[in-house]
């Protein structure tokens, strides 16, 4: 393993700090002993693949997020990407048509999209969507109704917006005249968030 490769202990400690979790919090969520977690963070022991899966599943994240380098590590980046009107990767699904923007950049922590919301009845949507991270939705045209776990549906007109934890089940349906258009920005430590999202919406 390269000396520049972040160690599991560093990744786990950084993940805890990002979420404000104690070792006891991680223990309650995953069932992995506090003593084991402490030894891992102090590079006194490693973990089997099964234990890594147990931790990632207990924390509601994927392995890529668990093993993501701590923020601020490595050299500064100078990346940029420009999408002209109409450019991007179009994905057509039952509920949404998404135009993914700035797709030539890999391992983005934010995924910007222009979405067309087509479904008009939550009963026809199917299971609510869940994935790691957070997302911001801004209504560009039309009106949508936002359905989530834990909250009553809320209607958003043109110019309205919402910010949610994406691990909470969620769905957007169009409730105005015709289809609604939204700007969606999803964010996650998952280095392949865009690929994860595209696989979720594949029909």
Q: Are 24 and 34 in contact (CB under 8 A)?
A: yes
Q: Which of 171, 186, 182 is nearest to 120 (CA)?
A: 171
Residue 120, pLDDT score: 96
Residue 2, pLDDT score: 42
Residue 103, pLDDT score: 84
Residue 75, pLDDT score: 44
Q: Are 100 and 89 in contact (CB under 8 A)?
A: yes
Give how far Cα 78 sits from Cα of 109, 138, 180, 193, Å.
14, 27, 35, 20
- pLDDT tens, the chain, 203 aa long: 444 556 788 888 888 887 788 899 899 989 999 999 999 888 888 888 888 888 888 888 777 777 776 655 544 456 788 889 888 889 899 999 999 998 887 767 788 999 999 999 999 999 999 888 899 999 999 999 999 999 999 999 999 999 999 989 999 999 988 999 999 999 877 666 666 666 766 55
Burial class (CB in 10 A: 0-12, 13-18, 19+), 187: middle
Q: Which of 129, 133, 127 is nearest to 98 (CA)?
A: 129
Q: Which of 165, 173, 114, 111 is nearest to 144 (CA)?
A: 173
pLDDT digits (tens, 9 = 90+) for 121-168: 999 999 999 888 899 999 999 999 999 999 999 999 999 999 999 989
Q: Are 132 and 154 in contact (CB under 8 A)?
A: no
Residue 78, pLDDT score: 63
- Percentage of the chain beyond pLDDT 70 is 84
Compute φ and ψ for 197, nearest 5 degrees: -65, -40
- The rounded distance, in Å, linking the Cα atoms of 92 and 161 is 23
Residue 59, pLDDT score: 84
Q: Are 180 and 199 in contact (CB under 8 A)?
A: no
């Amino acid at each position: 393993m390269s000396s520049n490769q972040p160690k599991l202990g560093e990744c786990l400690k950084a993940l805890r700090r990002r979420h404000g979790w104690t070792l006891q919090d991680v223990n309650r969520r995953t069932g992995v002993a506090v003593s084991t977690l402490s030894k891992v963070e102090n590079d006194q022991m490693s973990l089997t693949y099964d234990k890594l899966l147990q931790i990632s599943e207990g924390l509601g994240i994927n392995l890529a997020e668990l093993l993501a380098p701590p923020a601020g590590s490595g050299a500064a980046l100078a990346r940029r990407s420009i999408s002209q009107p109409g450019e991007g990767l179009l994905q057509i699904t039952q509920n949404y048509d998404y135009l993914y923007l700035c797709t030539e950049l890999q391992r983005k922590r934010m995924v910007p999209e222009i979405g067309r919301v087509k479904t008009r009845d939550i009963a026809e949507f199917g299971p609510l969507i869940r994935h790691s991270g957070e997302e911001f939705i801004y209504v560009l045209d039309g009106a949508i109704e936002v359905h989530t776990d834990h909250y009553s549906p809320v209607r958003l007109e043109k110019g309205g917006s919402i910010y949610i934890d994406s691990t909470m089940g969620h769905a957007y349906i169009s409730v105005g005249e015709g289809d609604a258009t939204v700007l969606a920005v999803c964010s996650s430590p998952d280095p392949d968030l865009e690929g994860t999202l595209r696989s979720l919406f594949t029909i």
